[in-house]
Structure 1
Amino acid sequence: MSRAAMQVCRAHGDCFANRGGVCTCLKDNDFGGRDCPFYKPADTVRKGSCRQNGGMVDGNQQI
């Protein structure tokens, strides 16, 4: 995605997706005056991203 297509976001400078005032995740960040529902502080996301099961979720279930 080109930088021109990325959305400027100055609401949460500490968000995991904010890189230099630009949202790197969302194509549209207009939530009708409400706060971004995807906002997560970068330090919180980094701490929670390490999973015990290597990222596998329900890998041994039979369907």
Structure 2
Amino acid sequence: MGTDDKARNKAEELVGKAKEKVGEATNDREMQAKGKAEQSKANLKQAGENVKDAFK
């Protein structure tokens, strides 16, 4: 289960990065913000997974 969650979180982070770059390219600040928010959310989830792994 942990590996699947990590892969899902990484994919979410990459989608966020893509949205951020598209927002930069099109000068769409809202898209940039959404991309950054998705990256932050994915990074927080990943940190939670790392904590769980530390206690295994």
The interval holding the TM-score normalised by the smaller chain is under 0.3
Whose helix proportion is higher, 1 or 2? 2
Instruction: Write 1 or 2 for the structure with the bigger share of strand.
Output: 1
Q: Greater Rg, structure 1 or structure 2? A: 1
